[in-house]
Amino acid sequence: MKQFRSFVKKEFHHILRDKRTMFILLGMPIVQIVLFGFALTNEVKNSKIAILDQSNDVSTLALRTELAASRYFDIERDLHSYKGIEEAFQSGKIRLAVVFPKNFDADLRHFNKAQVQLIADASDPNVATTLVNYATAIIMDYQDRITHDRRLPYTINTELRMLYNPQLKGAYSFVPGVMAMVLMLVCTMMTAITVVREKEMGTMEVMLVSPVKPMKIVMAKAVPYLLLSMINITSILLLSVFVLDVPIRGNLLLLIGESVLFTLTCLAFGLLISSSTASQQTAMFISLTGMFLPTVMLSGFMFPIENMPLPLRILSNIVPAKWFYYIVKEVMIKGLGFAAVWKETLVLTGMMLVLLTMSVKRFKIRLA
Amino acid sequence: MGGAYFPPTSASSGGVRAYNLIKHYGTQKQLVQALRGVSFEVQQGELFGIIGPDGAGKTSLFRILTTLLLPDGGEATVDGYDVVKQYSEIRKRVGYMPGRFSLYQDLTVAENLEFFATIFNTSIEENYDLVKDIYAQIEPFKDRRAGKLSGGMKQKLALSCALIHRPSVLFLDEPTTGVDAVSRKEFWEMLNRLKQQGITILVSTPYMDEASLCDRVALMQNGEVLTVDSPEGVINSFQQPLLAVKANRMLPLLNDLKAFEGSDNAYPFGEYHHVVLKEGTEPAVLENYLRQRGHGPVTITTIRPDIEDCFMALMRN
């Protein structure tokens, strides 16, 4: 026990004395949350649009005001001819052009029918679709308002309700994602590197010629990073609740418990990498390609797994982050209890145990 | 090989025995033979030197004896324990100082020593008397990080850490490489004091002049042990006449010395060239020969060989 304590103390010295690395480790989650929260968002806000109004009547004016009032659009310029549309798009400033034909209001009132043209920049198809949908919704709203006193022969009203995330905030899905990513980076990569560094520095050579059991060396490496991850989990949760207004609906203890489980899985994976590699570069490369990329690609955080081809869907099952991402979403966002995530928890526990056993087994008691 | 060695039989005897150790690296296509059947015996409490140039196989040998590498052939025991089967026993009782500085650079002097004391289940206080001499010299800097120490001080710290658990056998792989002359001398004095404590010490070095400071030495070259003897024994085995020759133009002189039919070997040695004469060749004949070859004033002195001369002679055979 005394041996183990002194090992852990040594590991803490390594981490605490390398100020730059520690700063990165503790600063990374904060930077990522802030980045994803405010900069890298896929919500469409304040898109610049242009309007070509050939009618200039009561209705077009009303619609124009509606568009301008929405938080999705900023009217960048008014156009005076069709030619101007092309120019406006090419200048790269606008993403959508709204064209009202001549006699818009008159057509609407006398023929009960008028047309409006939406032209979108589809070089980014997702944004184009989103913008067109927003604009259509605003126009439909207006139509509803002017028709609500008249009876239409047949109408189907769609009532929408967005459960768990009524405002459709991106933060609801990226907070669990960032948690998975940060824990992965800190735990897997850092533990992998720290063991390999001992090999590179030659200290492993001295340590092997001593009565210490490999198990102790491996475990002692994990303890400080587990604690560091706890700090990161806390800072991510605090930021998401108080800065991004993402509530923790489920049980906080359950959430933290699951995070610890995931952290341990990552640590075990890092240790496994370190016992199979000989240089820091290799360890870093393997943890990046073997862990970080799958976490981003196959956890469901960036791209929905349901849309992937079957082989990738199967492959995604061995990515621990997929299970953790699911658990966090269920517990934190939907507010479900342990009963809803026990299967996923079991999978993660299994992964952790397998990885840990492998890394202790594969730990080399000799050089080369 | 001398062939005078037998496989280790009793596990009770201390010291170190190596029998026909073989180690190679690489694949079938590019096989590097690091050890080609190395045998020797070190008595308990002996200060034993393994002398040889870079690439002789010294580090491979040390790593096998400290259980860090598995031999591809042969057997060895350390303190009576087999290096393969009983490796964990050996790891409890040997001290090992690798050729490269291998302590934690970001820990202080005191933290390093304390760490190594705890992993060997002991404390600094318990064995302080053993390291006192050495550690006292670096104690004023005990709060300095190990990475910021000078070369000599790093080496003293490494030795302290290797000694803190009072090992019965101490392995020092090239401890004096890259250390200044004064520190080297000091270091050997420390080793002699440790020997008084009954610790068996194996030390490897590329410096021939350090051989005379050991009780016995093994001269190694290309993965083979050329000879194992006391320094005096090694020198006494050198029977041929040895001359030191000096002239104005040293390079043509060396070529002429090599061409001289009465010479067995000629090589540069400091400011002189050393010539080993064939049995029965008189120095006067060489003097005549050199005059004929047009070398002006030539100094020729008969000298006593040192270890390096013996090494050169052994390498030729």
For residues B192 and B268, membership in a common domain is answered with: no
Model confidence at A148: pLDDT above 80 = no
Is B205 within a domain?
A: yes
Contact between chains at A208 and B68 (C-beta distance less than 8 A): yes
Chain B: give the shortest CA distance to residue A16, in Å: 10
Q: Which of residues 176-205 of A touch B (CB under 8 A)?
A: 201-203, 205
**Cβ burial, residue B311 (10 Å; 0-12/13-18/19+):** buried
| pLDDT tens track for A346-358 | 999 999 999 999 9
User: Chain B residue with minimal CA distance to A203?
Assistant: B102
Of A7, A211, A367, the CB nearest to B68: A367
Is B5 within a domain?
A: no
Say what the pLDDT of residue A40 is: 66
For residues B209 and B245, membership in a common domain is answered with: no
Of the residues B234, B259, B281, the one at which a domain ends? B234
CA A174/CA A163 separation, integer angstroms: 17
Contact between chains at A206 and B104 (C-beta distance less than 8 A): no
| pLDDT tens track for A276-311 | 888 999 999 998 888 788 888 888 888 888 888 999
Across residues A120-133, what is the average pLDDT?
Answer: 87
Model confidence at A160: pLDDT above 80 = no
In which band, very low, low, confident or very high, does the pLDDT at A109 lie, cut at 50, 70 and 90? confident
Chain A: give the shortest CA distance to residue B98, in Å: 7
Give the residue with greater pLDDT, A44 vs B95: B95
| pLDDT tens track for A312-364 | 999 999 999 999 999 999 999 999 999 999 999 999 999 999 999 998 888 88
Model confidence at A169: pLDDT above 80 = no
Pairing of strands B224-229, B73-78: unpaired
For residues B116 and B210, membership in a common domain is answered with: yes
Task: Establish if A367 touches chain B: CB-CB under 8 angstroms.
Answer: yes
How is residue B291 written in tokens? 């005059």
Say what the pLDDT of residue B27 is: 80
Say what the pLDDT of residue A21 is: 86
How is residue A329 written in tokens? 């979403």
Is B189 within a domain?
A: yes
User: Chain B residue with minimal CA distance to A212?
Assistant: B119
Say what the pLDDT of residue A149 is: 64
Residue-by-residue pLDDT tens, chain B, 317 positions: 444 444 444 444 688 999 999 999 988 888 889 999 999 999 999 999 999 988 899 999 999 999 999 999 999 999 999 999 999 999 999 999 998 888 999 999 999 999 999 999 999 899 888 888 889 889 999 999 999 998 888 989 999 999 999 999 999 999 988 888 888 888 899 899 999 988 999 999 998 889 999 999 999 999 999 999 999 999 998 888 899 998 888 888 898 898 888 888 899 998 899 999 888 888 888 888 988 888 888 889 999 998 889 988 888 87
Task: Establish if A20 touches chain B: CB-CB under 8 angstroms.
Answer: no
| pLDDT tens track for A240-266 | 899 888 889 999 999 999 999 999 999
For residues B177 and B228, membership in a common domain is answered with: yes
The answer to whether B97 and B158 have CB atoms below 8 angstroms apart is yes
Residues of B with CB under 8 A from a CB of A: 63, 66-70, 87-88, 91-92, 94, 96, 98, 100-107, 111, 114-116, 118-121, 161-162
Of B63, B106, B111, the CB nearest to A367: B63
Coil, strand or helix: which one is B224?
Answer: strand
For residues B196 and B274, membership in a common domain is answered with: no
Say what the pLDDT of residue A41 is: 65
Of the residues B217, B234, B251, the one at which a domain ends? B234
For residues B299 and B183, membership in a common domain is answered with: no
Contact between chains at B107 and A13 (C-beta distance less than 8 A): yes
Contact between chains at A211 and B116 (C-beta distance less than 8 A): no
Contact between chains at A6 and B115 (C-beta distance less than 8 A): yes
Q: Does domain A47-147 have CATH number 3.40.1710.10?
A: yes
Say what the pLDDT of residue A342 is: 94
CA A210/CA B169 separation, integer angstroms: 13
ipTM value, please give it. Answer: 0.83
Across residues A6-30, what is the average pLDDT?
Answer: 90
Residue B266 sits in a domain whose CATH number is 3.30.70.2070
User: Chain A residue with minimal CA distance to B65?
Assistant: A209
Contact between chains at A202 and B100 (C-beta distance less than 8 A): yes
Is B3 within a domain?
A: no
For residues B221 and B296, membership in a common domain is answered with: no
Sheet strands (E) in A13-149: 47-53, 73-79, 96-100, 117-120
Contact between chains at A210 and B116 (C-beta distance less than 8 A): yes
CA B158/CA B54 separation, integer angstroms: 22
Name the residue range of residue B272's domain: 238-316
Say what the pLDDT of residue B297 is: 86
CA B24/CA A167 separation, integer angstroms: 68
Question: Which residues from B are below 8 Å from A217, CB to CB?
Answer: none
Is B9 within a domain?
A: no
DSSP character string of B7-52: ----SS--SEEEEEEEEEES-STT-EEEEEEEEEEE-TT-EEEEE-
Say what the pLDDT of residue B4 is: 46
Listed by start position, the domains of chain A span 2-40+169-362, 47-147
For residues B229 and B257, membership in a common domain is answered with: no
Of A202, A211, A368, the CB nearest to B91: A211
Q: How many domains does chain B have?
A: 2
For residues B43 and B156, membership in a common domain is answered with: yes
In which band, very low, low, confident or very high, does the pLDDT at A42 lie, cut at 50, 70 and 90? low
